[in-house]
């Protein structure tokens, strides 16, 4: 595992049904710049950053009902379990909302 992967693998783990606003509050409270997103089976599905969530919140299509699972950028998915390792990537462009 590369040194950068260790940083990506650590951090607060949250459920995909958390809203963007709550996720930003969790990040602020934990003083971190990213969260590991898990589905209901405990599988890590994404990594979200402060910048990514801020961009979503500042977009013209934002509502307070948008959840982390509604955000897709094609990066950050993993077959690993939350807290188990595996690799993850984050892309800052190409944000999309999944309907």
pLDDT in tens, 55-66: 999 999 999 999
Q: Is residue 9 part of a domain?
A: yes
Domain count, the chain: 1
CATH number at residue 32: 3.10.580.10
The reported pLDDT for the residue numbered 6 is 44
Q: Is residue 87 part of a domain?
A: no
Q: Is residue 27 part of a domain?
A: yes
pLDDT in tens, 26-84: 999 999 999 999 988 888 999 999 999 999 999 999 999 999 999 865 445 554 556 54
Q: Is residue 42 part of a domain?
A: yes
Q: Is residue 92 part of a domain?
A: no
Q: Is residue 93 part of a domain?
A: no
Q: pTM of the full predicted structure? A: 0.69
Give buried/exposed letters for 53-83 (b at 16+ CB in 10 A, else e): bebbeeeeeeeeebbbbbbebeebbbebebe
Which residues span the domain enclosing 21? 3-76
């Amino acid at each position: 595992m590369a040194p950068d992967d260790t940083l990506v693998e650590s951090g607060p783990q949250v459920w995909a049904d958390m809203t963007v606003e709550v996720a930003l509050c969790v990040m602020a409270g934990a003083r971190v710049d990213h969260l590991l997103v898990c589905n209901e089976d405990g599988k890590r599905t994404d990594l979200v950053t402060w910048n990514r969530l801020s961009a979503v919140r500042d977009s013209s299509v934002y509502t307070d009902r948008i959840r982390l699972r509604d955000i897709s950028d094609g990066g950050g998915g993993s077959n690993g379990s939350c807290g188990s390792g595996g690799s993850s990537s984050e892309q800052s462009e190409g944000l999309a909302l999944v309907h």
